[in-house]
């Protein structure tokens, strides 16, 4: 079965039984759907908590929790005394098209992973031919740190090293638009991590850390083909782990029924 078919299978199966999902998660999902349906833009004001609770058929307390979660991941802005607003972009890059991204919609998540594959393969290819010695050292240091954090299963330390590594590769690609794209993809992926996995990690940190080191070595050697192949393998592994985590979650939920 190819990657697209497997992705569709995961998407078709997603969360068949919502009874076991946290209430705030369901309401957060409905709220993002409401924003998209109403075509609200960054900076637009939303109804009050009670107004949203009525619209979303939820209690005010659960709605408040959903708003807090969406504010924490950067989708809403809560201003004391002013109200709740659709958050403005922190990057300003492609925000009009991505303002209505649904982080729990599997089809959109898979599109995000596909886009990440395209962007980061290109950054690895360019970095292998354009990186200067200082940039190579930055990539290698971040890769080594991610491998160490992965071996210790330190989620926070790995997340930091992972971000530094991918940003360092993007910087070495010598293109500010590629660099902005890599940062933007990570920002949207983090939204899915929070709403789908509650901050848990969908894959093996140790495997990812070793892959970072291999990519860093290929870039340091100026091996463009190997760097692109290894980055492709890295993103593919991430997608497969993500899909497996979703399948495991669905299996767990179905067994509770």
* CATH architecture for segment(s) 18-86: Orthogonal Bundle (1.10)
Measured CA distances, 80 to 77, 83, 84, 85, 240 (Å): 10, 6, 9, 11, 42
Q: How far apart are the C-alpha atoms of 19 and 256, rounded to whole Å?
A: 10
Grouping H, G, I as helix, E, B as strand and the rest as coil, residue 77 is strand
User: Tens of pLDDT along 15-48?
Assistant: 445 556 788 888 999 999 999 899 898 889 999 9
Two structure tokens written together for 179: 């660099």
Residue 185 reports pLDDT greater than 70: yes
pLDDT at 89: 66
Q: How many angstroms separate the CA atoms of 255 and 60, rounded?
A: 30
Give the residue from 198, 191, 235 showing the smallest Cα distance to 102: 191
**Which pLDDT tens digit goes with each residue over 79-131?**
988 999 998 765 554 555 667 888 888 888 888 989 999 999 999 999 999 99
> Cα-flanking dihedrals φ and ψ of residue 204, to 5°?
-85, 120
Token pair belonging to 178: 């590629």
The pLDDT value given to residue 14: 46
Architecture of domain 101-256: Up-down Bundle (1.20)
**Domain locations along the chain:** 18-86, 101-256
Give exposure, 156-172, as e/b (b: 16+ Cβ within 10 Å). Answer: ebbbebbbbbbbbbbbb
| pTM exceeds 0.75, yes or no | no
Q: Do domains 18-86 and 101-256 have the same CATH topology?
A: no
Question: Can you give the pLDDT at residue 96?
Answer: 57
């Amino acid at each position: 079965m190819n990657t697209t078919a497997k992705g569709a299978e995961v998407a078709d199966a997603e969360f068949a039984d919502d009874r076991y999902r946290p209430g705030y998660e369901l309401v957060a999902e409905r709220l993002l759907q409401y924003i998209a349906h109403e075509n609200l833009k960054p900076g637009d004001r939303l109804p009050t908590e009670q107004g949203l609770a009525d619209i979303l058929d939820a209690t005010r307390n659960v709605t408040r929790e959903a708003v807090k979660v969406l504010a924490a991941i950067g989708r809403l802005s809560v201003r004391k005394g002013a109200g709740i607003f659709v958050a403005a972009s922190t990057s300003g890059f492609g925000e009009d098209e991505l303002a209505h991204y649904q982080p729990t919609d599997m089809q959109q998540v898979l599109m995000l992973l596909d886009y990440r594959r395209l962007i980061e393969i290109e950054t690895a290819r360019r970095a292998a031919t354009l990186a200067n010695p200082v940039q190579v050292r930055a990539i290698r240091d971040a890769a080594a740190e991610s491998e160490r954090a992965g071996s210790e299963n330190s989620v926070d330390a790995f997340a930091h090293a992972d971000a530094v590594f991918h940003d360092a590769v993007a910087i070495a690609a010598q293109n500010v638009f590629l660099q902005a794209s890599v940062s933007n993809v990570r920002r949207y992926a983090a939204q899915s991590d929070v709403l789908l996995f509650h901050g848990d990690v969908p894959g093996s940190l140790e495997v990812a850390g070793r892959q970072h080191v291999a990519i860093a070595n290929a870039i340091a050697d100026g091996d463009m083909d190997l760097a692109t192949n290894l980055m492709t393998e890295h993103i593919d592994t991430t997608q497969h782990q993500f899909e497996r985590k979703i399948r495991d979650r669905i299996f767990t939920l179905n067994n509770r029924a």
